[in-house]
């Protein structure tokens, strides 16, 4: 046990050092890729080393190349931090080392998944009794939801896709919004639907699917349809009008509605934002991340499917020595052996409670509004989106957006990524971290406007 004591001490020391400094560390990509690589000896060792030394070596080799993305002024992509309670629970997951594949391998984890899945459905206002698979991220959650859809829609045509595959199958028409997330396309590729075969519904200026055009489009399609809507467009935070989308889809005899709500579905947990996702409960499947807005450490997300049998049909498996069925955690996910991902998610929800989650979501939205107001007050910044959630999309006038992003990174106060909106290069500021304060926002917007003033020579 001496060895165990020593390594856990080292891990604890690393965590203390890292987490103690993450709020004040320069929030940039700290070293070039080649420098990060150079810190690791690339010769496979012949002889081993004591465990504690290995961790010391790792800590010093990793540290210079780590990004302070869990800190309060990292606004890139849609990046959550990690609530302390979830970090602690995640350590417990590793210590217990349970295989959360089948119930018999860990009755405790299987039970906890059941409880946590039901909590998530209740919190997000999704149908009780839905099946919840704990997966790595929203991409895999969408893969799981669309795999369930593929099974169910084809089974309704008398085709067993698990046995017969897609060749020769009466494949449903896939319909997506023009501003669907790239991971939805990845899921369509992976599942054999083909990204380019998906029919796209034009979006409005905020990136929302236009439901009247969806209705017209659906009227022109024969046979089953699989419609992918979105709650939380990654650049604008805008949500498709899910009630109107569900109305249009609901007129079909054979249809499945999936909602990619990686971050946006959390709007349902905050009373003042809930109207943005009205109608969400009418879909058949949902994808939602935990590592973004719930602030659980990577990785964790939920694939939620109204009809548990459809999800189980997509993922259950059997051999003489092991059966993975609907009641097993892995019977609801694409994996077999897997980490007990629900544990840190449970810890975060238990710690925050319904009120705490609502507060976390609302706080981030309020901070995004503050950032938009402060940036928008600058004479050479245009805020491009209606700031309804936690995303702010803005563009400089008289300077290059990518150059501004690099200048902000070099300053190190905060980090904002780039995108493009209707062809115009833009910057994205996403407020998703539990520890961000109004002072962090003001410091960051000041750093951004100062960088812009320098670039434009003011």
Minimum Å distance from CB 141 to ligand PLP? Answer: 7
The answer to whether the CB of 64 falls within 8 A of the CB of 37 is: no
Minimum Å distance from CB 234 to ligand PLP? Answer: 4
DSSP 266-321: GGGGSTTTGGGGTTGGGSSEEEEESSSTT-PPSS-EEEEES-HHHHHHHH-EE-SS
150 vs 291, beta carbon nearer ligand PLP: 291
Minimum Å distance from CB 183 to ligand PLP? Answer: 4
Task: Tell me which residue has its CB nearest to ligand PLP.
Answer: 137
76 vs 232, beta carbon nearer ligand PLP: 232
CA end-to-end distance (rounded Å), the chain = 62
DSSP 399-431: S-HHHHHHHHHHH-S-B-EEEEETTEEEEEEE-
Minimum Å distance from CB 233 to ligand PLP? Answer: 7
- List, edge to edge, every strand of the sheet that includes 199-201: 131-135, 301-305, 285-289, 255-260, 225-230, 173-177, 199-201
260 vs 411, beta carbon nearer ligand PLP: 260
Minimum Å distance from CB 193 to ligand PLP? Answer: 17
Q: What crossing angle do the helices spanning 138-155 and 182-190 adopt, rounded to 10°?
A: 50
The answer to whether the CB of 140 falls within 8 A of the CB of 339 is: no
The answer to whether the CB of 288 falls within 8 A of the CB of 261 is: yes
345 vs 381, beta carbon nearer ligand PLP: 345
181 vs 341, beta carbon nearer ligand PLP: 181
171 vs 239, beta carbon nearer ligand PLP: 239
182 vs 323, beta carbon nearer ligand PLP: 182
The answer to whether the CB of 452 falls within 8 A of the CB of 396 is: yes
Residue 381 pairs in a beta bridge with 396
Helices vs strands, H then E, count in the chain: 14, 13
299: preceding bond cis by omega (within 30 degrees): yes
Minimum Å distance from CB 231 to ligand PLP? Answer: 8
Residue 328, Cα to own-chain centre: how many angstroms?
24
Minimum Å distance from CB 186 to ligand PLP? Answer: 9
Burial of 390 (0-12, 13-18, 19+ CB in 10 A): buried
28 vs 143, beta carbon nearer ligand PLP: 143
Minimum Å distance from CB 263 to ligand PLP? Answer: 5
How would you write 167-210 as a 3-class SS string? Answer: CCCCCCEEEEECCCCHHHHHHHHHCCCCHHHCEEECECCCCCEC
151 vs 292, beta carbon nearer ligand PLP: 292
Minimum Å distance from CB 351 to ligand PLP? Answer: 21
Minimum Å distance from CB 334 to ligand PLP? Answer: 13
263 vs 266, beta carbon nearer ligand PLP: 263
- Residue ranges that bind ligand PLP, judged by CB under 6 A: 78, 137-139, 181, 183, 232, 234, 260, 262-263, 289, 301
């Amino acid at each position: 046990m001496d060895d165990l004591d020593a390594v856990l001490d080292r891990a604890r020391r690393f965590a203390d050092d890292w987490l103690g400094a993450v709020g004040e560390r320069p929030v940039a990509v700290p070293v070039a890729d080649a420098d990060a690589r150079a810190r690791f000896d690339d010769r496979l060792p012949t002889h081993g080393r004591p465990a504690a030394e290995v961790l010391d070596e790792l800590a010093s080799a990793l540290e210079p190349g780590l990004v302070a993305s869990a800190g309060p002024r990292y606004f890139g992509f849609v990046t959550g931090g990690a609530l302390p309670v979830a970090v602690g629970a995640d350590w417990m997951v590793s210590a217990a080392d349970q295989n959360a594949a089948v119930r018999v391998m860990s009755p405790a984890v299987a039970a906890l998944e059941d409880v946590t899945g039901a909590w998530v459905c209740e919190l997000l206002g999704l149908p009780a009794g839905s099946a919840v698979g704990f997966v790595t991220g929203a991409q895999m959650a969408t893969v799981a939801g669309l795999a369930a859809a593929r099974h169910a829609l084809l089974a309704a045509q008398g085709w067993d896709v698990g046995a017969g595959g897609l060749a020769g199958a009466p494949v449903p028409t896939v319909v997506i919004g023009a501003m669907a997330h790239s991971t939805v396309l990845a899921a369509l590729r992976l599942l054999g639907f083909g990204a380019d075969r998906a029919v796209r519904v034009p979006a409005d200026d905020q990136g929302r699917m236009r439901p009247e055009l969806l209705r017209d489009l659906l009227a022109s399609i024969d046979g089953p349809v699989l419609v992918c809507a979105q709650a939380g467009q990654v650049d604008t935070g805008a949500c498709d009008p899910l009630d109107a989308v569900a109305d249009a889809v609901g007129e079909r005899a054979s249809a499945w509605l999936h909602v990619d709500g990686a971050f946006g579905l959390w709007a349902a947990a905050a009373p003042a934002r809930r109207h943005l996702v009205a109608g969400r409960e009418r879909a058949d499947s949902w994808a939602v991340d935990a590592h973004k807005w719930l602030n659980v450490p990577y990785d964790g997300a939920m694939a939620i499917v109204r009809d548990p049998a459809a999800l189980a049909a997509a993922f259950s498996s059997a051999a003489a020595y092991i059966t993975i069925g609907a009641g097993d955690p892995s019977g609801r996910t694409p994996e077999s052996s897997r980490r007990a991902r629900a544990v840190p998610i449970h810890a975060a929800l238990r710690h925050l409670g319904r009120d705490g989650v609502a507060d976390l979501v609302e706080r981030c939205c309020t901070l995004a509004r503050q950032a938009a107001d402060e940036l928008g007050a600058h004479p050479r910044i245009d805020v491009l989106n209606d700031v309804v959630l936690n995303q702010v999309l803005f563009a400089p006038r008289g300077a290059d957006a990518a150059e501004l992003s690099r200048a902000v990174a070099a300053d190190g106060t905060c980090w904002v990524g780039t995108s493009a909106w209707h062809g115009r290069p833009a910057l994205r500021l996403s407020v998703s971290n539990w520890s961000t304060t109004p002072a962090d926002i003001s410091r960051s917007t000041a750093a951004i406007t100062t960088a812009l003033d320098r670039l434009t020579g003011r």
